[in-house]
Amino acid sequence: MAAVPGWPHADTADALRPHAEHGDGGDAHGTFLVEVDGLVVGDCGWFGPPDDSGVAEIGYGLAPSVRARGLGTEAVALLCDWVEQQPGVRRVAAEALVGNEPSRRLLARLGFAEEPAQPPYVRYVRDAAHVDGAN
């Protein structure tokens, strides 16, 4: 599959780590390529099943040439919809670099609230959309 210049980006290795560690099954499901017009423009996914408190961490990134078009917001919204339907997920977390204002605004738009984190990151968390007691 062809990709735009700038993808893979520096964080792509983190996004694909679950596949390398677990193969194509089990915890590896949940890493997605973002594609536009037949070209890979980015990736997004989770870092595995939720922890014991029900928090699942996500990550995402787009090639610089396709940023500021709403693709990141759409991809992360769809990712969150998927993650929140996974067993045991009660909250979704993400980190952004302190100086990455576009990513920080994206997370705020999608209902994430800022929490304390270890610099150079800012941590964001939101409650899962479902509140059915099943998870």
State the number of CA atoms in the 13 A half-sphere of 66 facing the CB. Answer: 25
- Report the mean per-residue pLDDT for the chain: 83
Q: Is the pTM of this model over 0.85?
A: no
How far, CA to CA in Å, does 119 sit from each of 55, 95, 96?
20, 10, 10
pLDDT at 63 (0 to 100): 83
What domains does the chain contain, in order, with CATH numbers? 12-127 (3.40.630.30)
Using DSSP's 3-state secondary structure scheme, residue 16 falls into: helix
Whether the Cβ atoms of residue 50 and residue 27 lie closer than 8 Å to each other: no
User: Percent of the chain having pLDDT more than 70?
Assistant: 81
- For range 22-47, the mean pLDDT: 76
Q: Using CA atoms, how far apart are residues 84 and 107, in angstroms rounded to an integer?
A: 15
Please determine, for residue 124, whether its predicted confidence score (pLDDT) is greater than 60. Answer: yes
Residue 20's pLDDT is what?
Answer: 61
Q: How far apart are the first and last CA of the chain?
A: 36
pLDDT of residue 122: 94
Task: List the structure tokens of 31.
Answer: 């890493």
State residue 8's pLDDT score.
74
**Amino acid (one-letter) located at 63:** A
Residue 130 has a pLDDT of 61
Instruction: Give the pLDDT score at 22.
Output: 55
More confident residue, 8 or 60: 60
C-alpha 133/C-alpha 88 separation (Å) is 10
Report the C-alpha gap between 64 and 125 in whole angstroms.
25
Q: What is the pLDDT of residues 64-112, one digit of tens each?
A: 887 888 888 999 999 999 999 999 999 999 999 999 999 999 999 999 9
